[in-house]
């Protein structure tokens, strides 16, 4: 999908398409730490949810 959008941009405005081709890897590298932080925060929340719901799941297992 991204490639098709880029081809359309290439037909409409080729200097902008070349600029996006050059800047895309740089933007991806700049946003990488934020993705890693998001993954870490999600893992911490999943761990907290598992710890909080552990007693209920353990009691449910005894039935």
Are 17 and 9 spatial neighbours (Cβ–Cβ below 8 Å)?
A: yes
Expressed as residue numbers, the domain containing 24 is 2-61
Per residue in 39-57, pLDDT (tens digit) is 999 999 999 999 999 888 8
Instruction: Give which of 22, 19, 17, 23 is closest to 4, Cα–Cα.
Output: 17
pTM, entire model: 0.60
Per residue in 2-42, pLDDT (tens digit) is 899 989 988 999 999 999 999 999 999 999 999 999 999 99
Count of domains forming the chain: 1
């Amino acid at each position: 999908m991204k490639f098709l959008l880029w081809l359309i941009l290439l037909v409409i405005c080729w200097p902008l398409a070349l600029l996006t081709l050059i800047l895309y890897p740089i933007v991806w590298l700049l946003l990488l730490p934020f993705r890693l932080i998001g993954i870490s925060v999600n893992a911490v929340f999943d761990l907290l949810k598992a710890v909080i719901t552990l007693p209920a799941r353990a009691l449910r297992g005894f039935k």
